[in-house]
Structure formats: structure tokens, C-alpha cells
Amino acid sequence: MPQYRSPVDDTLFILNDVLGLQGRSNLSGFAEATPDVVEAVLREGAKLADEILAPVNQAGDREGCKRHPDGRVTTPPGFKAAYDAYAGGGWMGLSVPEEYGGQGLPQVLNIAIQDFANGANLALSMYPGLTQGAIAALLVHGSEEQKARYVPKMVEGTWTGTMNLTEPHCGTDLGLLRTKAVPRGDGSYAITGTKIFISAGEHDLSENIVHLVIARIEGAPAGTKGISLFLVPKVLVNEDGSLGARNGVTCGSIEHKMGIHGNATCVMNYDGATGWLVGEANRGLNAMFVMMNEARLAVGVQGLGQSEVAYQNAVAYAKDRLQGRALTGAKAPDKAADPIIVHPDVRRTLMQIRAFNEAARALVLWTALQGDILHRAEDTKERQAADDLMGLMTPVVKGVLTDRGFANAVEAQQMLGGHGYVEEWGMSQFVRDARIAMIYEGANGIQAMDLIGRKLPKDGGRAMMAFLGEIQGFLKEAGEDEAMAPFAKPLQVATGDLQQATMWLMQNAFADPDNAGAGATDYMHLLGLVALGYMWCRIARAAQARKAEGRDTARWEAKLVTGRFFMERTLPETALRLVRIKAGSQTTMALEAEAF
Amino acid sequence: MPQYRSPVDDTLFILNDVLGLQGRSNLSGFAEATPDVVEAVLREGAKLADEILAPVNQAGDREGCKRHPDGRVTTPPGFKAAYDAYAGGGWMGLSVPEEYGGQGLPQVLNIAIQDFANGANLALSMYPGLTQGAIAALLVHGSEEQKARYVPKMVEGTWTGTMNLTEPHCGTDLGLLRTKAVPRGDGSYAITGTKIFISAGEHDLSENIVHLVIARIEGAPAGTKGISLFLVPKVLVNEDGSLGARNGVTCGSIEHKMGIHGNATCVMNYDGATGWLVGEANRGLNAMFVMMNEARLAVGVQGLGQSEVAYQNAVAYAKDRLQGRALTGAKAPDKAADPIIVHPDVRRTLMQIRAFNEAARALVLWTALQGDILHRAEDTKERQAADDLMGLMTPVVKGVLTDRGFANAVEAQQMLGGHGYVEEWGMSQFVRDARIAMIYEGANGIQAMDLIGRKLPKDGGRAMMAFLGEIQGFLKEAGEDEAMAPFAKPLQVATGDLQQATMWLMQNAFADPDNAGAGATDYMHLLGLVALGYMWCRIARAAQARKAEGRDTARWEAKLVTGRFFMERTLPETALRLVRIKAGSQTTMALEAEAF
């Protein structure tokens, strides 16, 4: 059976040494996150992930969810108990304000726990993950009554949440939405329509499911300006908070998918179901965007999680499997053959994944920290700067971490040869599960368009200028440190590529917006590479400081070697991305559709 | 249901215009391959693929193979009828000499048909594919009696073939082999051992299965020098050619795999089974290599096939799915939204796959043609040159076409968004099926090591020098043609990268072989890119000639645009590969195994 261990020590190092969590006590909730508390939270979260969630992952894939003729959906064996442990441990509300039953701790800690849980069991972690997204939307846009009535139960995990956007004819382009809401005159609406691809839309883990549904109020404007957000519980809630009658929403079928078999992907039929408006009428997309930004960061973390678990299992196999001899002479002469980890091509693969994972973890936590600053800082300027950086980096974390996370899972699978292709060994599941993260919450091409069309030009490019400024500041400081040269110099080069690409886009996208579109994905990856390279620089600086303390020297040496591998072999890809962007849209767009 | 159309016209163009098949009548069997015959063969093959093989592909994935308690294995519904059509149409023996019941046509035609069949139904095509590999090994290494007894039945398809190499503890490193062969004194051997991952090891498509099995004759030297090849029929064959008693070989179980569910991957138990030596004792690997080279080229074609079918379905979806508006203004203002093919990021993806497929098809056929020259030319020098080029390009075709073929299937799947993840649409199957091609017949890392450790240094680098010489000759000629500049110039740059990489390896691999190992995969891809770029140059020249004739101008324009896309956006990756190679092995190999 595949194995998994949450990367607790690496996460602690990033939080404490790289991001300096302890210097952030100006942020509300951070003073409570003392070093002891942070470590205890991570170690407990790891226990949940490693001992409760991971062991039911493979059976979850094999058994999958089942829809019964009466519309009920049952989750795989062991999922209910594991979910109860998740909810019962208070994990759902880790960073939810205490007034709603949460613990008010930093969101960055919550994201660290999500990373652990995703690596352990993606399909299962989606149930609480979606619930957290729904909680976030309600906390920002819900009425006081909605918050009081629904959020505590969701924080407990007694009720779960979903988001309902997609319809058969309308995925990315929500303006085409048809689900309609008819006011009933008593403050409620009758919701009617069909939603598809609804993750966790129906299941047996919770007593109630709080669906957040976008729909068009009768007579609302066409397009995205006529979309409203509604709260539609599976079971209606009585005045006293107890459960009442079943609402008019049912699961029509579940999809047979490539992966995440343990999570029910539902067709949801709304047949005059009772719903309540969340936030203002016709402003539903804004409310949904809150949920989507949370969700996009979380999905990026899913990419990382699958990359990590696949890596761990590839390493275990590479140390164990005896095959061939090292090119430089036998390393285990007493055995029939050397373990395959001696082979440079195996090493290259493992180093590549590892070097990505460690930087990606830092990037995810760095981005989550911007979210904390945005929501918890006193200072307006500080909040705005964090908002800028988080907005800029959200599509990058989502797009790049899931693209690479999937590619890494594939590479890790390759290390097992034929065994990687056989389901028994678990690698195929990591690949199949990782695949969804590139698609949902806005396919990665959409992330690239969000980056280039919205985030980059916003406020005259303020976010990108701030990001480049932060890197330049770091490089200036690091420039005086000879030991940092193997990190700082490649980052300087890569940042130059990013600047050139940004300039080219500014000059050429105006004349022809297709020039931006044709380069969008390359630009997203270019920015992702620079961000990861920047993280490696910060990691290297922190590792050098720790190494100088003279303890655990091998650990810090390994960090620095891994970082140099990234700078030498992964980061130079920025040049290729720049070449592609500068190629423009001519050959991309030249053919008539009929020529395809 | 997914759709598929064999790329007949493109294949005809490559064979006739790019490779000049009609100028090769000095090769035996080529004179018979007149333009009419070639076109008729391809159109008939396409009919088989499109109308017989493709329609049962999805059900094959869904139903899979089943092993019954008595050891029998049944293939999915429809497979037997489709296989009978394949065999009955004479396709198995298309390029087998007429004396064994074949048609003696060029192997390059056979490979073209395999391309069609793989795109239509990979799992099914493997049954005849493995049979063709076994036929090839028997024709080269079998005794006259073995050839006469077994090959005609295999050409008919009444009997099928397999290759049995892998054992539980021994995949790549065949020296660890334990299956043993004990001489019985009557010319036969008793074969005992367990083989795993045996594709088509047991099934219900043919009356008999001819297993080619490597084993160690009792008392043979340890390692690879003590390996012999045996022919072990599932059912023993009587003197008169009729079927006799069941042999001591059984299928112990079948694997549950990520894909190719329609092909049975078997654990084969040999329990004193009767076998006969093929070729010389202790020279089994040599005999097996014949089969493996054929098989590796065929597996490269599988990568291309999945890339092609995935592309076709992504195109169909992109033309049909309405979502959003073009960045440059509505293209279908009468509809609710534009078809997504108007979006540059969708275009970029489709162009990328298409530009790969068209060049990969040319490369596959070019390599197969080298095989024809090797086996059919009169002139020794011509044969040797073809042998060199085929040897050099076989690992590249296998490794690069399957890596990229899989990646392309993933990109094509992405075009369908959530529908791509749902099995109903078929894209997931293309991805899951394509994945195996990177693994079997020597995992791609092994292909890279074969290239760099064996093919490149062989005969003082003669093959690479010949390949570079051929490109330089082409470039010199093309240099005088201004219209060829958008193709010739990028190829010149890429070839420079290849030369630098080759030089670097020569200078640094001797001092430390890990420098070669750490760069092997990048080198394989670098050579692959140059080879594909060279193919695009040849395609472009042929397309320009056709365009000048003034007919089908749009078709030839589309070719040239697609080629320029490749030169601008795909080929520049050579520079990144070179950077990685030159990084050497230091950071790759620095960590102790315990540090992972």
C-alpha cells in the first residue's frame, strides 16, 4: 500500500525561518500562534492526515461513491469515520473567527493543514475543503442571520457546503447561465435548473448540505450582470435550528471520472427548491469570486499534495528496488544489484520533483500569508499591498502548481516502471487524482487569462511592480553575500526574462489582444518560475542561517543542493517561455477554424 | 462517443512527397508499392481502423479483460470480431515475405497502418502488434523448421505471439533473470518460472499463443551472457501442424491497470512447459533485441496514435462548444457565444499538438524507411548507413514520441474542461492508454541511456555524424531558397545546440559517466526536437512544391503555418535542454540516498 507522511518539519521551517511567522504578531490571531501552538497544530494535523485520511485513500479510489436509486449517495468505506475525525478535531474552523465556533488562527496554518490532508487523501479532503470555501463566502456576503444559522454547524462539520456554478451549456462563460430564481414574496426564492460537476453535491458524511447556487432572478439583466447567489440547503432548517423538511434539490446522477472516485461529482436538479439570496441581487458573481479565490489557492495546494505523495512513494521504491549497477561502480556490491536511486536519471527525476515541492510549499504559504495580512492587518497600505500580491499570485498558484504537480506525479509514477501503471501500487491514483486540479475552479487556461487580462493590468500594473520591487530588494541585499550568488544570479536572469515578457505584452497586446492570449499560459508559467525561484532564494538564505548554527548540517546542506538544482535546471525555462511569448499570435491564429 | 479518422491524406503526402517512396524501387518489394497500391492499402487500412477498431475502443476500456477461475481470459465485447477483421484482411503479414503468407510490401506501409490502428484502438492493436514482433524475431533467429511451423499461422492471425522478459524482481536488469530451462534430451527444454507484465499473455482471440520466453539454461553463465530465447506455445503443435496437448503454461492473474484495459496484462506461470531454443544458446538477448527494436518503433507510433486521436476529439469539441467571445470581437454574433476555437489559448494548444503530430508522423515513417533500406537494399554501404540511422533514432522515436504523445493527450483532454475528466467523453481513456507507452518496451529513461550510452558512442559516433551530415546537407541546399528561411534558420540554431551538447558529453562523460546519465533524458529530447525540426523542413519544402502547383492551396498554406508554429514555439526548447545537459551531474548526484 502506498505510504504518506505529512511534511511537518519542512512546513515548520518555512513558517518560522522563511516567512518569519513569529514577527507578525501585529496581525490578529497571530499572537496566539506561538511557536509551540504552531508546532502542536501541525503535528496533530499530520497525525490526522497520515493515520486517518491516508489509509482510506486507495480503497476510496477502488470503491468510489455510489448513487442509489432513491438519489442517496454513499461514500466509500471508511470515509465517514475519517471525515468525522476531521470535523471532530476542529480542523474545519481552524482559521474561522471564534464567534462562529472556530479557532481564529491564521489562514496560513489552515493552508498548511490542507496541504497535509490533500497529500493524504484528495477525494476526502474536498468535502471539508468545499465547506471551508462556502463558510468563507457566507462570512463575507451572508446576512447576520445566515451566518448565525449556518456557519457554526458548518464549522462543526455537521453540515457541509458546496458551490454550484456550472450548467451543461455553461462552464467558464457564466453569462450563459439559465438556472432561475423566482421570488416567493416571503423573502425566499424558488430555484429551478440543472447544475453539473457539483463536487460533494450529495453524500452521506453530513446531516445537511448547504448549497451555494448561482441563478438568475426572473427579469434580471442578461449576461453576468444578472447573476445572483443563493443559499439552498438540502434540508430546510427550522426556526430553532433543527432540521425540517427535505428541500426540492436532488442528485440526478454522479459522473464516472478519471479520478477522485471518493468524491461524488453530481448532477444537481433544482426543482423549485427554496433558496435565500446571499448578498445583493445581481451581484452574485462578486460573492462567488470570494469563494473562488479561496478555492483556487486550495486547488493549487492539491497539485502540490499529489506531487508530494507521489514523490514520497517514488523515493521509497527507488531506495528499495534493485536493478542494474551505478555508472561509477557498484554501490551495493553485496546485493544482486544496486538500488535504482544510484542511477542519475532516477536522481534527476526525484530532484526535479523535490526541488519543485519545497519551493511550491513556500509559495503557497507565502500567498496564504498575504491573505492573512489582507484580512487581519490594521494598516490600509499593508492590506492593499497584500491584496495586490495575493490577487497576482492566486492564478499562478492554481495554474502552475497543478500543471507541475500533475507532471510530477507522472514523473514519479515513471520511477516504478510497470508497477507504476498497476493500480495496486497507488501511483496511478495520484496521477488520476492530480489531473482534476488542472481543470476545476477555472481550467488553467482561464487562470492564465485571469492573470494576463485582469491581474496584470489592474491599477496600472501595481501588483506586478510591487512583486518585482520585492525581488529586486531581496537581490540587492543578497548581492553582498557571496554564498547567495548561486541563487541570486539565476534569479536575476529569470526576473529579467519576466520583465522583458511583461514589457512585450504591454507593447503588443494593445495592438492585438490575441498577442496576450497566445502568450498567456507561457506568461503564467514564467511568473510561476520566477516566484518559485524567489522562494528558493529565501529558503536558501534561511537554510544558510540555520546551517551556520552548526546543527543538522546535513539537512541544510541538502536544502541548498536542492535549491541549486532548481536554479540550474528548472529556472532557466524562463528563457523558453519568453521566446514563445515574443513569437506572438501570428502562427497561432492564422488558420481558419475549418483548417483544423 | 469519441471519433477517429485515420490521417490517410497526410500519410500519403509524407510517403510520396516527403520521403519519395516512388524513387526507391531499388528496394525489394518497393516496385510493387506503386502509388495506386499504396493509396489503396492506406484507404483500406483506414477503413479497418475507423469503422472496425475504433467503435469498440471505449467499450473495451469500460469492460476490460476478465480472467476466469479456470485461467481463461476473455477480451471485451466486440474485440474478437474486430481482431478477426484485422487478421482476415491480411494486415498481419503486410510486410512479411510472401513465402510465409505475407504480402512482402514495405515495412514503412505496415508502420503507417499501425499508426492508424493505434489511434483507433491501442489495446486491441497490441494483440497483432506483439504477434508481428514475434514474427520478426522468428524470421531472423528461428530455425527453418520453426519458421515453417509457426510463422504462417501467425501471419494468418490464427495464432498470436508474445514476448516474455520481465520477472517480479527483474525488469530492466535482465541479468537477474531466474526462469530456468532444463534440456530434456529430445531437443526440447522444460521451462519453469514466473513472468509478469506479459501483454496479450492469455486471451480468446486466437487458437494458439506462441510465447517467446527468455530463460537461463541450467548451468549457463550468470548475468546477461547466460540468457537464451525459447519458443513456448500455449498449445503444443503436432507434427502435421494440428493442435495437440495443452502446454504447461498458464495465466495466474491479470493486472488492474491505469489503462489499456482491453489488453490482458498477465502473470504467466511456466511449470515445466515445453519449449524450444530459438537461435543460439546464451545468445537470447541478441535475438530479443531484434524484437525490441521493432517493438520500440511500434511503441513510439502508439504515442503518436493517442496524440492524434486526442487531438481530433479536442478539435471537434473546440469547434462545437460555445463559450465566451473572441478577444478581437464576436466571431459568431448570431449565437449565444463563440465556439472556443476562437480563443488563442485553445488555438495554441491545438496548434502545438498538430505541429507535433505531423512531424512525428514523418519521423516515424522516415525511421521505418531506414528499416526497409537496412533489410532490402543491395548496397552494403546503404544498408549500413540505414542501420546506423535506425539504431540512433529508435530510442528517440520510442522515448520522445511517447513522452510528448502522452503530454499532448493531456493537453487535448484539457480543452474539454470538466468533460475531459468524465469517462463518457473518451479523453481520459486516451490519456490513460497513452501512459503505458512511456513505460513498456524499456521505460523512457532506459531509452535515453540506450541512446547516450550505446547508440551515440557506437563506431566512434558514426551514426550521429551521419545524421548531422544529412541535416547540414539539407540546410546548405535550402539556404539558397529564401522561402525556406523560416524553417532552415531555426533548424540551424537547434542543430548547433545538438552539436554543442554532443561535444559537451564527449568531453565530460569520460571523466564522470554520471554527467552522461544526468543529461540523458534531456539529450534524447534535444535530438528528438532536432529530428522533428528536420522533418518540418522536409515537409515544408514538399508543401511549397505542392503549393506551387496551384491546387489545394489552403491545405499547403496550413501545412506551412503549422510548421512555422513548430519552429517558433516548440523547437527553441533545444536551448533549455542544452543548459540542463551542461549543468552536469553535481547537484543531481550530491545527496546521499538517505537524504531523500
Q: How far apart are CA B28 and CA B378, in angstroms?
A: 9
- Parse chain A into domains and list their residue ranges: 461-590
Provide the H-helix boundaries in B32-158. Answer: 35-47, 57-63, 79-88, 107-120, 122-141, 144-156
Beta strands in B149-207 (DSSP E): 159-164, 180-183, 189-199
- For residue A327, the chain B residue with the least C-alpha distance is B513
pLDDT tens for chain B, 596 residues: list them: 899 999 999 999 999 999 999 999 999 999 999 999 999 999 999 999 999 999 999 999 999 999 999 999 999 999 999 999 999 999 999 999 999 999 999 999 999 999 999 999 999 999 999 999 999 999 999 999 999 999 999 999 999 999 999 999 999 899 999 999 999 999 999 999 999 999 999 999 999 999 999 999 999 999 999 999 999 999 999 999 999 999 999 999 999 999 999 999 999 999 999 999 999 999 998 888 777 777 899 999 999 999 999 999 999 999 999 999 999 999 999 999 999 999 999 999 999 999 999 999 999 999 999 999 999 999 999 999 999 999 999 999 999 999 999 999 999 999 999 999 999 999 999 999 999 999 999 999 999 999 999 999 999 999 999 999 999 999 999 988 999 999 999 999 999 999 999 999 999 998 899 999 999 999 999 999 999 999 999 999 999 999 999 999 999 999 999 999 999 999 999 999 999 999 999 999 999 999 99
In chain A, positions 425-464, which contact chain B (CB-CB < 8 Å)?
428, 431-432, 435-436, 438-440, 443-445, 448-449
Chain A, residues 354-413, CB within 8 A of chain B, namely 354, 406, 410, 413
d(CA B347, CA A452) in angstroms, rounded, equals: 17
What distance in Å separates residue A164's CA from the closest CA in chain B?
A: 14
Q: Is-contact A332 A322, C-beta < 8 A?
A: yes
Residue A546 has which C-alpha cell?
540555520
The grid cell for A343 is 542511477
Q: Which residues are CB-contacts of B307 (< 8 A; sequence separation ≥ 6)? A: B353, B356, B357, B360, B404, B405, B408, B409, B412, B434
Instruction: Give the whole-angstrom CA distance, residue B179 versus residue B176.
Output: 10
Report d(CA B388, CA B374) in Å as an integer.
Answer: 9
C-alpha cell at A296: 483556487
Residues whose CB is less than 8 angstroms from the CB of residue B183 and which lie 6 or more positions away in sequence, other chains included: B189, B217, B218
Handedness of CA A234, A240, A245, A247 (dihedral sign): negative
A23: helix, strand or coil: helix
Q: List b or e across B540-569, with b for residues whose CB sees 16 or more CB atoms inside 10 angstroms.
A: bbbbbebbeeeeeeeebbbbbbbbbbbbbb
CA–CA separation, B332 vs B330, rounded Å?
6
Q: What is the mean pLDDT of chain A?
A: 97
* Whole-number CA gyration radius for chain A: 24
Distance of CA B26 to the CA centre of its chain: 27
User: Distance between alpha carbon A71 and the CA centroid of its chain, in Å?
Assistant: 30
Contact assignment for A197 to B564 by CB distance below 8 Å: no
Contacts of B40 (CB under 8 A, 6+ apart): none
Contacts of B398 in chain A (CB under 8 A): none
Contact between residue A116 and residue A46 where contact means Cβ atoms under 8 Å apart = yes
Residue of chain A whose Cα is closest to the Cα of B254: A422
Question: Could you count the other beta carbons within 10 Å of the beta carbon of residue A405?
Answer: 31
Residues 6+ apart with CB under 8 A from A112: A11, A15, A42, A45, A365
Q: Measure CB to CB from residue A422 to each of B171, B256, B327 and give the nearest one.
A: B256
- Crossing angle of helices A284-320 and A344-376, rounded to 10°: 150
Of the candidates B519, B496, B499, the residue with the CA atom closest to the CA atom of residue B583: B519
| A290 has pLDDT over 80 | no
3 state SS of B445: helix
Residue B504 grid coordinates: 559537451
Nearest to residue A32, comparing CAs of A89, A111, A104, A92?
A104
How confident is residue A236, by pLDDT bands cut at 50, 70 and 90? very high
Mean pLDDT of A425-437: 98
Nearest CA-CA partner of B317 in B295, B350, B272: B350
- Judged by DSSP in three states, B270 sits in strand
B158 contacts B135 by C-beta, under 8 angstroms? no
Cα angle B4, B5, B10 (rounded to 5 degrees) comes to: 140
What is the predicted pLDDT for the residue at B510? 83
Indicate the burial class of A594 (C-beta count within 10 angstroms; 0-12, 13-18, 19 or more): exposed
Contact yes or no for B76/B121 (Cβ under 8 A): no
B329 vs A: CB within 8 A: no
* B258/B269 Cα distance (integer angstroms): 23
Q: pLDDT digits over A55-87, tens only?
A: 999 999 999 999 999 999 999 999 999 999 999
pLDDT at B291: 73
Cα separation values, A471 from A217, A308, A355, A400, Å: 47, 27, 20, 19
Would you state the pLDDT for residue B507? 94
Tell which phi-psi region holds residue B206, choosing left (phi > 0), alpha (psi between -120 and 50) or beta. beta
- Yes or no: say if A243 and A149 are a contact pair by the CB < 8 Å rule: no
How far apart are the CA of A66 and the nearest CA of chain B, in angstroms? 16
A581: pLDDT strictly greater than 90: yes
pLDDT for residue A198? 98
With a cut of 90, say whether residue A397 has pLDDT above it. Answer: yes
Q: Which residues of B touch A327 (CB under 8 A)?
A: 513-514, 516-517
Q: Is residue B139 a contact partner of residue B291, using CB atoms and an 8 Å limit?
A: no
Give me the mean pLDDT over the A123-146 stretch. Answer: 96
Say if the Cβ atoms of B585 and A342 lie within 8 Å.
no
Q: Helices B513-548 and B380-414, interaxial angle, to 10°?
A: 90
d(C-alpha B564, C-alpha A206), whole Å:
56
Look at residues A385, A182, A386, A377 and name the one whose alpha carbon lies nearest to residue A277: A182
* Residues of A with active-site annotation: 441
- Are A452 and A482 in contact by the 8 Å Cβ rule? The answer is no
pLDDT at res. B107: 96
| Residue A160 three-state SS | strand
Q: Cα–Cα distance between B290 and A524 in angstroms, integer?
A: 46
Min mean pLDDT across A207-216, A282-291, A379-388, B171-180 is at: A282-291
Q: In B, which residues are within 8 Å of A259 by CB distance? A: 421
Q: Does A585 touch chain B (CB under 8 A)?
A: yes
- State the Cα–Cα distance between residues B473 and B477, nearest whole angstrom: 6
Q: What is the DSSP string of A383-447?
A: HHHHHHHHHHHHHHHHHHHHHHHHHHHHHHHHTTTHHHHBGGGSHHHHHHHHHHHTTSSS-HHHH
Best CA proximity match to B404, nearest among B486, B311, B540, B495: B311
Q: Which residues contact B329 (CB under 8 A, 6 or more apart)?
A: none
Per-residue buried b or exposed e for B356-393, using 16+ beta carbons within 10 Å of the residue's own CB? bbbbbbbbbbbbbbbbbbbbbbeeeeebbbbbbbbbbb
Q: How far apart are CA A215 and CA B242, in angstroms?
A: 71
Contact at CB, B173 and A324, closer than 8 angstroms: yes
CB A405 within 8 Å of CB A141: no
Spatial separation of the C-alpha atoms in residues A289 and A277, rounded to whole Å: 16
Decide if B589 touches A, using CB distance below 8 A.
Answer: yes
pLDDT in tens, B422-465: 999 999 999 999 999 999 999 999 999 999 999 999 999 999 99
Judged by a CB distance cut-off of 8 A, whether residue B503 touches chain A is: no
Cα(A410)–Cα(A407) distance, integer angstroms: 5
pLDDT tens-digit map of A328-355: 999 999 999 999 999 999 999 999 999 9
Residue A289 has pLDDT above 80, yes or no: no
Q: Count of residues for chain A?
A: 596
Percent helix, strand, coil in chain A, to 5, is 60, 10, 25
Residue A245 in contact with partner chain B when CB distance is under 8 A:
no
Pairing verdict, β B249-254 and A189-199: unpaired
What's the grid cell of residue B87?
A: 487478421
Give the residue on B whose Cα is nearest the Cα of A351. B588
Contacts with A348 from chain B: Cβ below 8 Å: 518, 521, 588
The Cα B371–Cα B366 span in angstroms is 9
Pick B576's closest partner by Cβ from A349, A573, A593: A573
Chain B: residue nearest A585 by CA? B344
Q: CA B565, CA B574: separation in Å to the nearest integer?
A: 15
